[in-house]
Amino acid sequence: NQSIINILLNAILLANVLGFEYFGRDHDEKDQLMMQLPELDWFSRRGGTIFLFGPPGDPQYFKWEILFLALSIIIISPFLIFFTLDAMRNISKTNTKFLSGYTRAMARRLFITFIVQCLGAVVCYIVPLTFMLSFMLIDPHFVPGWLCACLRFLLV
């Protein structure tokens, strides 16, 4: 059963890689957008390649990959949450009268490590990724500038 779940989850992740390859391309009107958006003038003067999914709120092709990525996260997250919570529950249920003090201390440290990893994943990965992908689908011009500056400082 675990092998089947692992194969399916890896197939979903591989499909995301292929989706980024296929849907991660420039907007059809990239050149026109480069002239319309003054923020991009600075980038174009620096040289190099600019990869433009589209104007804010309209990532022409990439929106399909964003939706597929969200669906993948919705499918994969319950498994990760279940396995983490199950491991934490098993550690906490360990009968302490049969364990040495050193083993109890190791179990406590492992439990704390799980908690820190979960919080780290939420703070450093899930929240910034959610904001970034949300602002690709929703035009953020309605958000006050001071709030965008604070969010950028907190999320980057």
125: alpha, beta or left, given left = phi > 0 and alpha = psi -120 to 50?
alpha
13: nearest Cα among 81, 80, 60? 80
Number of residues assigned to the chain: 156
One pLDDT digit (tens) per residue for the chain, 156 residues: 788 988 998 899 899 899 988 998 888 888 888 888 777 777 777 777 777 888 877 888 888 988 888 888 888 888 888 888 888 788 777 666 666 778 778 878 888 888 888 888 888 888 888 887 887 778 777 888 898 888 888 877
**In the chain, where the domains are located:** 2-155
The CA distance from 129 to 131, in Å, is 5
The CA distance from 127 to 141, in Å, is 20
